[in-house]
Amino acid sequence: MTEIKICGLTCEDDIKTVNELEVEYAGFVFVKKSKRYITPEVSKHLVSGLNRKIKSVALFVDAYLEDIEVVLNHVNFDYIQLHGHESVEKIKDLSFRLGKPIIKSIGVSDSLDMTTTSRYYSVVDKLLFDAKPKIPANLPGGNGEAFSWEILKNIQFPIPWILAGGLDSNNISDALKLLSPDCVDVSSGVEENVGKKNFRKVSAFVDEVRSK
């Protein structure tokens, strides 16, 4: 069964939603320019209320080791998600120093973006494919943008992978007919407004995924 990750949780209502729907992963954003950013102190409070069966994921973009350690000193997150331009060497170093499984995001706009994925196979635990922002100034994720799923069709990855980018309850069925990701990741597609999840939208998304 395809797993589900709800990302960009910011409040107690979001925690109640993912707990009730029993998704597999809950994502928290530690990127200060994001509207979904939360402080380490807030994350400690939120994660303390998270169902223990749900894996917690801390998302960073080109962060320094010290900044990640500050967050981990507050919460012992299950996964670290790197959503920037982190090199293989940096990922190796972070993995060694942090002792945490790592999810690496790959921005996709065309088939050329897939030529570099193999370099990460031996250094990360999961790959996440998200739409590459059309405007360089945008954040690398959470923009509600999709990419052509055909790019990933018939590619066999040796490690688990996650599909993200502009997903919602209206298009996830089509995505899963075409692809077989290990997990799907949604943020803006289940929001009432930026940074606030809508229970009905999350529930509809979860139902669509689990009906496949």
**Per-residue pLDDT reduced to its tens digit, 166-176:** 999 999 999 99
Judge whether residue 83 has pLDDT over 90. Answer: yes
CA dihedral sign of residues 24, 21, 206, 110: negative
CB neighbour list of residue 13: distance below 8 Å, 6 or more residues apart = 196, 197, 199
Structure tokens, 123: 């250094």
**Per-residue pLDDT reduced to its tens digit, 182-210:** 999 999 999 998 889 999 999 999 999 99
Distance (Å) of CA 144 to CA 9, 23, 25, 164: 15, 20, 19, 9
Structure tokens, 196: 């606030």
User: What is the pLDDT of the chain when averaged over all its residues?
Assistant: 94
The DSSP annotation for 42-57 comes to HHHHHHHTS-TTSEEE
**Per-residue pLDDT reduced to its tens digit, 3-12:** 999 999 999 9
Instruction: Let me know the angle formed at the C-alpha of 41 by 83 and 86, rounded to the nearest 5 degrees.
Output: 15
Q: Calculate Rg over the CA atoms of the chain.
A: 16
Classified as helix, coil or strand, 147 is coil
The DSSP annotation for 56-103 comes to EEEEESS--HHHHHHHHHH---SEEEE-S---HHHHHHHHHHH---EE
Report the relative pairing of strands 3-6 and 191-193 from DSSP bridges. unpaired
Q: Which domains does the chain have, with CATH numbers?
A: 3-210 (3.20.20.70)
Backbone angles phi, psi at 151, to 5 degrees: -60, -35
Distance (Å) of CA 131 to CA 1, 125, 169, 203: 24, 20, 17, 23
Q: Does the model's pTM come out above 0.75?
A: yes
CB neighbour list of residue 183: distance below 8 Å, 6 or more residues apart = 2, 3, 4, 5, 24, 25, 126, 160, 161, 162, 163
Mean pLDDT of the region 149-162: 95
Backbone angles phi, psi at 155, to 5 degrees: -90, 130
In the structure, what pLDDT confidence band is assigned to residue 212 with cuts at 50, 70 and 90?
confident
| 145 C-beta neighbours (distance < 10 Å), count | 17
Of the candidate ranges 60-69, 108-117, 155-164, 165-174, the one whose mean pLDDT is the lowest? 108-117
